[in-house]
Amino acid sequence: MDNLIAYILSNPGRYPGSHLYPQPRSNQSVKPLEPASQMQLIWKATVEYIHEKILEGKGVNIKGFGAFTFDIETKLAPVTAINPTSGEIDDQRLDRKHLHKNRPVFIPDPSLQSVLLRYHGKNQVEKPASQRSVFQRGFQMIFCNPVPIAQACYIDKNVVVDTHRAIFSAIKELATAGRSITIPFNFAVIIISNLTLETRFNQNFAQNTNSKYYEAKMRKSDVPCATFWQTTSQDKWRSSALSSLWSKPDRREVQTMNEKTLALKIMSLDLASSVRPKTTL
């Protein structure tokens, strides 16, 4: 990603937008960053956002790039009796309700798939022919929302949108030219090489998505309805990993630094305005 960001910044005419310049932060105690660090910050928050949503049992569609979701295979409930003497009853109930086998997949966007001429083009998710939208194919599919990413980075939403557009446009352009690209995520790695695409998911991540505890997150019927209505947006944000992704600077320390900087500025102005008196011989 460092090389890709450097390529984008070295070609500002191809990828215009607000990401090319240091942007003011939404929190005054946080200083603006240079464009490269600014894009790296947004990318790390984007990866964390996608990872968090998938761990919640949702698929995420990234505009112009593709969607991370699951191919779900359903089996019949096992005919087993719950025996209190053989272990925890709650665990036995979860084992009985574990009916789905999840296979994490990545569905390329049509604009990206048209560039990959050697891509096999097979359907990653079994779907009826009538379902053409990616939001109909994935499980609990949502779009990649730039607002929480911008909130985690203390930056404007439009900067996140421009950064995403530039990154995924550059990926498609380099793939068209036949370049090899490795796109790292926390849970997977996407490799584009020789006009084809390969997705390698982390083994521990793939195993966790097939556990009985993960399936409990996928079932909305297990969550009381009152929990949904009584949980505020502030509570959801506090429980999110994005809220603690970067620690906030102490305002008192920032104010002290600003006062020292202002004092140094005034001192430099005083020194610059002072003139050595002329003496007559």
112-162 confidence digits (pLDDT tens): 988 888 888 766 666 655 566 776 667 788 899 999 999 888 899 999 999
Of the spans 3-17, 126-140, 241-255, which averages the highest pLDDT? Answer: 3-17
Residue 273, pLDDT above cutoff 60: no
Q: Is residue 8 part of a domain?
A: yes
Most confidently modeled range among 51-60, 116-125, 135-144, 209-218: 51-60
* DSSP for residue 76: P
Residue 245 lies in a domain: no
Q: How far is CA 112 from CA 54, 71, 108, 131, 215, in A?
A: 22, 20, 6, 20, 31
Counting the structural domains of the chain, the total is 1
**Higher per-residue pLDDT: 225 or 140:** 140
Of 17-31, 60-74, 249-263, the least confident: 249-263
Mean pLDDT of 58-64: 90
Give yes or no for a contact between 137 and 70, defined as CB atoms under 8 angstroms apart. no
In a domain, 125, yes or no: yes
Residue 103 has pLDDT above 70, yes or no: yes
Q: H-type helices in 209-250, by residue range? A: 212-218, 225-230, 233-239
CA 205 vs. chain centroid, Å, equals 16
Of 3-7, 89-93, 189-193, the range with the lowest mean pLDDT is 89-93
Both structure tokens of 241: 């990993």
- List the domain range (segments joined by +) for residue 61: 2-224
Answer whether residue 46 is part of any domain: yes
Give the C-alpha separation, 22 to 14, whole Å: 18
Query: Is residue 277 one of the residues assigned to a domain?
Result: no
For position 234, what pLDDT does the model report?
77
Q: What residues form DSSP beta bridges with 108?
A: 66
State the Cα–Cα distance between residues 136 and 130, nearest whole angstrom: 10
Let me know if residue 106 belongs to a domain: yes
What is the rounded average pLDDT for all residues in the chain?
80
DSSP 254: H
Is a pLDDT exceeding 70 seen at residue 269?
no
- State how far the Cα of 111 lies from the Cα of 64, in Å rounded to an integer: 7
So what's the pLDDT on residue 84? 64
Amino acid letter, 83: N
Of the ranges 71-85, 106-120, 255-269, which is most confident? 106-120
Q: What is the pTM of this model?
A: 0.76
Over range 100-123, report the average pLDDT: 83
**Is there a domain that residue 241 lies in?**
no
Alpha carbon distance 187, 198 (integer Å): 14
What is the rounded distance in angstroms from the CA atom of residue 96 to the CA atom of residue 144?
A: 33
The residue that leads in pLDDT, 112 or 229, is 112
Tell me, yes or no, whether 230 lies in a domain. Answer: no
Q: Which residue has the higher pLDDT, 19 or 126?
A: 19
Give me the percent of the chain exceeding a pLDDT of 90. Answer: 31
